[in-house]
Structures are given as C-alpha cells and as structure tokens.
Amino acid sequence: MILRSLECRFLTIALCDAAEPWQLGSQDAATPMMQGIIDLHHDIFFFLILILVFVSRMLVRALWHFNEQTNPIPQRIVHGTTIEIIRTIFPSVILLFIAIPSFALLYSMDGVLVDPAITIKAIGHQWYRTYEYSDYNSSDEQSLTFDSYTIPEDDPELGQSRLLEVDNRVVVPAKTHLRMIVTPADVPHSWAVPSSGVKCDAVPGRSNLTSISVQREGVYYGQCSEICGTNHAFTPIVVEAVTLKDYADWVSNQLILQTN
C-alpha cells in the first residue's frame, strides 16, 4: 500500500489530482494558489527542520552532560542578559520570516478584485450538489443547472475512484478566472478541491466567494469538508477542466439539452 503510494508520488508521469491511500504530501497543484500553498509549506518546513535540529541538539546535550553522574553539583546561574536577548530576538526574526510569505499568500488568495470570466454557483444539498451556470440566462428561469450525485459504492466502473466519482461533473475552462459562489440550501456544507487549493464553507443564508484559475486540463476530485449529515462522506466534488473552446461547446450543448 505504501509502496503504491510512493510509486504514484515518484514513478508516474500522471499528476495526482485525487486523494490516494497512504498519501503524505499535498496533491499536485492545479492553480497558482495551490502552488503557493505548497511553496509556503516547503518554506516553513525549512525553519521547522532548523528549529527541530537546534532544539534536539540542546536537549540531548543537556541530558548527556548535566546529570547526576557526570555533574553532581549543579550550576546556579539564574539570569543572563545576553542569552535573554538572543533567545527573544532570534525567534522573532524566524517568525517574521515565516509571516511575510504567509501573509503575502493569504492576501493574494483573496483574489476578489480580479474580474472573473465565469460565475459558477455550487449549491450544497443533503447530500448532493447543484451547480448553476447562470451567465447564460435570459430570464430568472435557470437555463443551465444540474445535480451532481455520487456514484454509489457498488456501482463504479473500472478506473473510477470509489466514493470520489460523481454522475455530473462541474465542467470549467482551464486558464480562466472563475468565480465560485458557494452556498447551501439546507445545512452547512463545504466545497473543497485540494488540487485547486480551495476549501470554501457553505453557510446557510450566505453566499461565499472563492476565485480559482485552473492552469491545466484535468479532472480534480474533492470531498465535502464540513460535516453535513449522514451522507457527508458520500458527497464528493469532481471538477473537470477543459479548454475554453470545449467549455463553450459543452455549454451550448447543455443549453440545447436543457431547453428542449
């Protein structure tokens, strides 16, 4: 199992866009946002390792040298100005180095001020999702909307991921700014796609915005991330990113299908 996971990590050319058994790292980035998150993780990990090594060295050294056998009479120093200053300034500097990229990423992820090209509404229900593409409406009647149900556990076809696949995927164009409006119709849900670096809670009576721009075509899997009832585990999300041209074709086909 672990081997298979490692194999997927290092040996395959295909990118990981779905959760897999024994996965340790993040899924591969599909948006600049996720790339930023992964990079920040690595940045912080540098400091983490640095601190880990330094602290363990101090700890082990202290235990090694200052015990009853080797050092029976303890020293009685209780105060040292120099070390006080060093151990206050140094951690603050480290925190600063972590905080700068962290805040930079946080505010760039807001992205609300970028003009989007498409608005898609993800509406959480117990226990399925409705997607509304309302940019093409000419009246209050929804012209392009569909429900996205999970494929039951005993029903997947060969090659489909168990409990991750849905019957109707959200089709989005790649390399385009998307505005996802996330809201539920009953209880809190959450719309999360790890490869896109998006996890947006759906709160009843409120509509939340999250902007994504998928950089490569592919199929991305996510799961409901806010406990929403009995079938919480069976409410996956599948995003299919296609080229802008294919997206337009898909929309026009869906419009013809749904209006007839």
Position 119 contacts other proteins (CB under 8 A):
yes
Question: Taking contact as CB under 8 A, which single stretch among the options 15-23, 39-47, 158-166, 170-178 is the one that binds other proteins?
Answer: 170-178
Position 134 contacts other proteins (CB under 8 A):
yes
Position 181 contacts other proteins (CB under 8 A):
yes
Position 35 contacts other proteins (CB under 8 A):
no
Residue 43, SS3 per DSSP: helix
Position 132 contacts other proteins (CB under 8 A):
yes
Question: Taking contact as CB under 8 A, which single stretch among the options 77-85, 163-171, 229-237, 242-250 is the one that binds other proteins?
Answer: 242-250
- Sequence-distant (6+) residues with CB within 8 A of 151 are 160, 165, 166, 167
Which of residues 125 and 151 has its CB atom nearest to other proteins in the complex?
125
Angstrom CA distances, 178 to 77, 148, 157, 214, 219, stand at 62, 19, 30, 8, 16
Q: Which of 19, 168, 177, 218 binds other proteins (CB under 8 A)?
A: 177
What are the beta bridge partners of residue 199? 192
CB 178 within 8 A of CB 214: yes
Distance CA 236, CA 120 (A): 17
Task: Extract the tokens encoding 89.
Answer: 């300034």
Q: Which of 3, 11, 73, 115 binds other proteins (CB under 8 A)?
A: 115
Position 244 contacts other proteins (CB under 8 A):
yes
* Strands of 71-193, DSSP E: 118-125, 128-132, 145-148, 170-173, 178-184, 189-193
Instruction: Report which secondary-structure segment, H or E, holds 209.
Output: strand 208-212
Instruction: Report which secondary-structure segment, H or E, holds 241.
Output: strand 236-242
Question: Taking contact as CB under 8 A, which single stretch among the options 41-49, 64-72, 79-87, 176-184 is the one that binds other proteins?
Answer: 176-184
Position 207 contacts other proteins (CB under 8 A):
yes
Distance CA 7, CA 175 (A): 29
Q: Which of 15, 105, 118, 187 binds other proteins (CB under 8 A)?
A: 118
Which of residues 210 and 225 has its CB atom nearest to other proteins in the complex?
210
Question: Taking contact as CB under 8 A, which single stretch among the options 5-13, 16-24, 73-81, 207-215 is the one that binds other proteins?
Answer: 207-215
Distance CA 197, CA 31 (A): 7
Position 216 contacts other proteins (CB under 8 A):
no
In the complex, the residues that contact other proteins under the rule CB under 8 A are 32, 108, 110, 112-119, 121, 123, 132, 134-137, 140, 142, 145, 173, 175-177, 179, 181, 183, 185, 200, 205-210, 213, 243-245, 247-249, 251-252, 255-256
